[in-house]
Chain A
Amino acid sequence: MKMSIERKKRLYGLLFVSPFIIGTLVFFLYPLVQSLVFSVHRITSVVDLDEMEYIGLAHYLEAFTIDIEFVPTFIGVVTDTLVNTPIIVVFSLILAVMLNKKIRFRGFFRTVYFLPFLLGSGMILNQLLGMGVDAKSMDIMRGILLPDEIRQVIGPSVTLVLSTFLNRITLLLWRSGVQILLFLSGLQGISPSLYEAARCDSATEWEMFWLITIPMLSPVILLNLVYTIIDSFNDVRNVMVQYFIRNAFVLQKFDYASALSWLYFLFVFAIILAVFLVMRKHVFYASGREVTNRI
């Protein structure tokens, strides 16, 4: 019997997707379900994780009623993320657009802007933070940007505001390397003929930015929003994640840590869902697929 082309196509599709599916099932979904199981049980033996008793939602209630650290840490992390994400995305978009222009030393600028990310979020950054690099660099930067003479003129309160701003901006800029890179790849994907056509109609740079760059880049904007939100929620430096790790690996309360991370997961899920729903109407895909399919 000959397989129909449609059926063959579908089988191929499944074949291509299957390595990822198997990997996800074994190394992500199963551990995930297991952690859900842990979260509603009390583990009675740390050595043998199979020994546990069912306690229902007690761990979840504990997080809100008994644990005095969870809720304040949680709110702090959420506020931070909601404030930082738009700043990071807008900044990296501006930087990427500048870097995409034909300018001198383009490769140099690109590499430099990505440097903080190269230092990584893992061991190297921990070592650097252990050496107090962020605080020391900030001290030096403040010394250069706000010398004593200026400080005396503008007064202590303005100095405080300025240095808080500098602190925040620097840390945010350090975290926008990936976003810049993603925006750059997105910008590379926009056909130059669109700009040429617009230029023939004497469009200004500003018009081209809003009417060509932004709509063509909208899938990458969504990608970056999601990346930034998730990255800041799951960053090792995030106090909430550190709280999970402490509970799981130091205090060995693995069941409780699982419950906490599920609460956290549900919340992050809600935020990402909201982002998707808001962005869905504004994202534009230029593959021309709809047209081709109709033919």
Chain B
Amino acid sequence: MTRDTRPPVRRIPAIRRSVLRTLPALRVRTIVKYLLMTALVGFFALPLVYMVTTAFKPFDELFLYPPRFFVRNPTLDNLQSLLAALSSVDVPFSRYVLNSLIVTTGVVVSTVLVSGLCAYGLVIHRPKGSGVILSLVIAALMFSPHVTQIPTYMVVNSLRLVDTFGALIIPKIAIAYNVFLMERFTRQLPFALVESARMDGARELRIFWRIMMPNIKPAWATLVALTFISTWNDYFTPLIFTTSQSMKTFPLALQLLAGGPAVANIGRAGAVAAATLVMTTPVIIVFILMQRKVIETMTYSGIKS
């Protein structure tokens, strides 16, 4: 309050002084910040670095104790043994990749649209019972999905979806957490934007597509990244919902190839390490593409809050 009562003439030098005073302190803080962040990089990058190096380790280095981070004699043996194992399966390798791509794309696109529309309906229209729906969403977040697997299987079975792409995509569209995320971000949308679009005679779907979605880009970019990763990595769902080999997805194929966890199958440890690397690469690419979108500043379109 005291600042406001000061005469305007004194205000400018006061700011300048404070800037000058904080400059050296800022520089020290910057150095500390970079040091801290670089140290944390070590912690975060460990699993990935280890995974990449392991994929190129020759057999004798895989079981070295104490374990070593980097490879002494990098080799492509692991990748070759993976390819050899893959070519011994009847179904071509590309089929698994295609299945994974279809399923992942289907789930990502439909869940973003369904959750987006739901958030739009809940926040902008507030229909009767939206409070109930929202508490339902929040309650749904808390239930462990693994336990409802068998009843879900019964539903999928009675809809005659088993062993189709539908079984892998449809049950994963209406996810409570996705709606929760979209709803929270939509609430922060400046309401005046929607009102002014209505004044201009924009239709509902147009408001959804042109006003809401671009404004909550960080939210759906996050959702795309999260859904892509969890669907791509998921092997539990295809394990239960598909029966024929030609409907299996990539992780499941790799899992079958590797014959269970690496500890149980020492002979194929190299192939497993290579397979893990191959599977992770698309995930990392998608994340790098999406994080750029997340970073893009939200548009404010002249609205002052």
Question: Provided the pairs A19-B117, A124-B276 are in contact, do residues A98 and B151 lie with their beta carbons within 8 angstroms?
Answer: no
Task: Kindly state whether residue B235 has any CB partner on chain A within 8 Å.
Answer: yes
List the B side residues contacting A16 at CB < 8 Å.
117-118, 120-121, 125, 204, 208
Across the interface, do A173 and B40 meet the contact criterion of CB distance under 8 Å?
yes
User: Which of A62-70, A148-156, A264-272 lines the interface with chain B?
Assistant: A264-272
| Residue-wise interface mask of A (123-154) relative to B, using a CB-CB cutoff of 8 A (1 in contact, 0 not) | 11011101111101101110110000000000
User: Is there contact, CB below 8 Å, between A261 and B127?
Assistant: no
Q: Cα distance A184–B292 when bound, in Å? A: 12
Chain B hits for A22, CB < 8 A: 174
Residue A74, interface by CB 8 Å: no
| Cα(A32)–Cα(B180), bound, Å | 19
- Say whether A239 faces chain B, with CB atoms less than 8 Å apart: no
Query: Which residues of B lie under 8 Å from residue A174 when comparing CB positions?
Result: 43-44, 47
9-residue interface stretch from B76-84, B90-98, B251-259: B251-259
Q: B115 to chain A: which residues have CB within 8 Å?
A: 20
Any B CB within 8 A of the CB of A215 = no
| Stretch from A53-61, A78-86, A157-165, A226-234 at the B interface | A226-234
Shortest Cβ gap from A57 to chain B (Å): 18
Interface centre among B40, B42, B121, by most chain A C-beta atoms within 10 angstroms, is: B121
A185 adjacent to B222 (CB under 8 Å): yes
A17 close to chain B: CB less than 8 A: yes
Known interface pairs A119-B280, A191-B305, A289-B191; A23-B125 also in contact (CB < 8 Å): no
CB of B3 closer than 8 Å to a CB of A: yes
Q: Is B211 an interface residue (CB 8 A)?
A: no
Residues A14 and B47 in contact, CB atoms below 8 Å apart: no
Q: Which of B127, B142, B148, B179 contacts A35 (CB 8 A)?
A: B148
In the complex, which residue of chain B has the Cβ closest to the Cβ of A268? B142
- B298–A188 CB distance below 8 A: yes
A9 to B204, CA, bound (A): 9
Task: Contacts A220-B184, A223-B181 given; indicate if A28 touches B44 (C-beta within 8 A).
Answer: no
Which residue of chain B lies nearest to A113 when distances are taken between CB atoms in the complex? B44
The residue that A120 contacts in the complex, of B69, B138, B170, B283, with Cβ under 8 A, is B283
- The answer to the question of B133 belonging to the interface, with a C-beta cut-off of 8 Å to chain A, is yes
Please measure, in the bound complex, the distance between the C-alpha atom of A257 and the C-alpha atom of B171, giving whole angstroms.
22
Q: How far is the CB of B283 from chain A (nearest CB, A)?
A: 5
CB distance from B128 to the nearest CB of A (A): 7
Is A44 among interface residues, defined by CB-CB distance under 8 A? no
With A118-B283, A120-B233, A268-B142 known as contacts, the answer to whether A292 contacts B136 (CB < 8 A) is no
Nearest CB in chain A to that of B304: its residue: A193
CB pair A49 B150 closer than 8 Å: yes
Interface size class of B (residues with CB under 8 A): 35 or more
Docked CA distance A269–B190 (Å): 32
The reply on A178 being an interface residue by CB < 8 A is yes
A137 with B141: CB separation less than 8 A = no
Question: Quick check: A188 and B294 within 8 Å, CB to CB?
Answer: yes
Q: Which residues of A contact B177 (CB under 8 A)?
A: 227, 230
State whether A226 and B48 are in contact (beta carbons under 8 Å apart), knowing that A19-B174, A113-B40, A288-B305 are contacts in the complex.
no
Is A93 engaged at the interface, CB distance under 8 Å to the other chain? no
Tell me if A17 and B300 are in contact (CB < 8 A).
no
Residue of A nearest to B118 (CB): A20
B48-80 toward A: CB 8 Å interface, digit per residue (1/0)? 101100100000000000110100000000000
**A-contact 0/1 string along B186-230, CB 8 Å cutoff:** 011111100100000000100010000000001101100110011
Determine whether the beta carbon of B125 is less than 8 Å from that of A111: no
Which chain B positions have C-beta within 8 A of A200?
A: 15
Q: A259-279: which have CB < 8 Å to B? A: 261, 264-265, 268-269, 272, 276
CB neighbours (8 Å) of B101 from chain A are none
Q: Look across to chain B and name the residue whose beta carbon is closest to the beta carbon of A240.
A: B144
Chain B hits for A189, CB < 8 A: 185, 188, 218, 298
Is A90 an interface residue, CB under 8 A from the partner? no
Chain B residue numbers with a CB within 8 Å of A32 are 143, 148, 151
At the interface, yes or no: A13 with Cβ under 8 Å from chain B?
A: yes
CB closest chain-B residue, reference A257: B147
Whether B261 sits at the interface, judged by CB under 8 Å, is yes
Whether A137 lies near B155 (C-beta < 8 A) is no
From A113, A116, A185, A227, give the contact of B47 (CB < 8 A): A116
Q: Are B295 and A30 in contact (CB under 8 A)?
A: no
Between A and B, 20 residue pairs with Cβ closer than 8 Å are A12-B121, A13-B127, A14-B127, A17-B130, A23-B173, A28-B174, A31-B148, A31-B151, A32-B148, A98-B36, A115-B284, A116-B44, A118-B283, A127-B261, A139-B67, A141-B43, A144-B42, A173-B44, A272-B142, A292-B195
Known: A13-B125, A220-B184. 18 other contacts (CB 8 A): A13-B126, A16-B120, A17-B130, A20-B179, A24-B136, A27-B152, A38-B151, A116-B47, A120-B233, A123-B235, A127-B276, A136-B67, A174-B44, A185-B185, A223-B180, A223-B181, A230-B141, A287-B305
Enumerate the 6 nearest inter-chain pairs by beta-carbon distance, A residue then B residue, closest first: A23-B174, A13-B125, A16-B121, A13-B127, A31-B151, A185-B218
Residues of chain A touching chain B, judged by Cβ–Cβ distance below 8 Å, are 9-17, 19-24, 26-28, 30-32, 34-35, 38, 49, 95, 98, 103, 106-107, 109-124, 126-128, 130-134, 136-137, 139-141, 143-144, 169-170, 173-174, 178, 181-182, 184-185, 188-189, 191, 193-194, 200-202, 204, 219-220, 222-223, 226-227, 230, 233-234, 236, 241, 244-245, 248, 254, 257-258, 261, 264-265, 268-269, 272, 276, 285-289, 292-293
